[in-house]
Amino acid sequence: MAEVSQGGGGGKSDGGKVRVKKASTKIDMTPMVDLAFLLLTFFILTTTLNKPKTMQLTLPEDPKPEDKLPEVNEKKVVTVILGPNDKVYWYHGITNPEVKVTNYDDAGIRKVLIEKNKEIPGMIILIKPMEESRYKNVVDILDEMTITNMQRFAMVKITDADKELIKESNL
C-alpha cells in the first residue's frame, strides 16, 4: 500500500533558516504485481485453445485369409486417378476404358461425380493417387467425396495398367 515516511528534511540547519518538512511518499507495488499474476494465471487456465480440425475417415478391417472378397459389377466402377500438375484422370468401367481428364473445380470432378451418380445407382469410386500427385490433391478429392455425398469409395494403389492408360491417352 502507500506509505508516508516521517522524518528527514525538517528543523534548523547551519544557516539559521527553518525548512519546511516534506513528506516523501513510497508506493509498494507488490500487491499489484500479485494481482496481475493471479489474473494472468486465471485467464490462461480458463481459456480454451483451438481444437485441431480433422477429417473423419472410416477404415475397413483387414480381410482374413478365409474371407471371400465381394464381387463388384464393373459397370458400377468409376476410377479416379490423381495425376501430376493438379490433373484428375477418370474413366468408367474396367475393360476398354476411355480416359478423360478434368481438374478439381466445381465444374470439374465435382460435376463428373454428380452426373455419374445420377447415371449409375450404387456407384463405386476407386481413387488412385500417382506418385507425382500432391498430398493436397488427396485431401481435395476426399473433400469432393464428402461434398457430393458419395457413400462408396476406396483409395487403392495405382497399377501399371493405369499408368499405361494415362500415357496412351496423351491428355
Q: Considering the domain boundaries, does residue 131 fall inside one? A: yes
- Grid cell listed for 22: 516534506
Q: Considering the domain boundaries, does residue 44 fall inside one? A: no
Q: Considering the domain boundaries, does residue 95 fall inside one? A: yes
Q: Considering the domain boundaries, does residue 109 fall inside one? A: yes
Structural domain that includes position 123: 74-169
pLDDT in tens, 68-108: 877 778 888 999 999 888 899 999 888 778 889 988 888 88
Domain count for the chain: 1
- The H or E element spanning position 37 is helix 30-46
- Residue 156 pLDDT exceeds 80: yes
Q: Considering the domain boundaries, does residue 110 fall inside one? A: yes
Q: Which of 104, 64, 100, 60 is nearest to 85 (CA)?
A: 104
CATH of the domain at 144: 3.30.420.270
Global pTM value: 0.61
Cβ density class 30-66: b for 16+ within 10 Å, e for less? eeeeeeeeeeeeeeeeeeeeeeeeeeeeeeeeeeeee
* DSSP strand pairing (124-129 vs 77-82): parallel
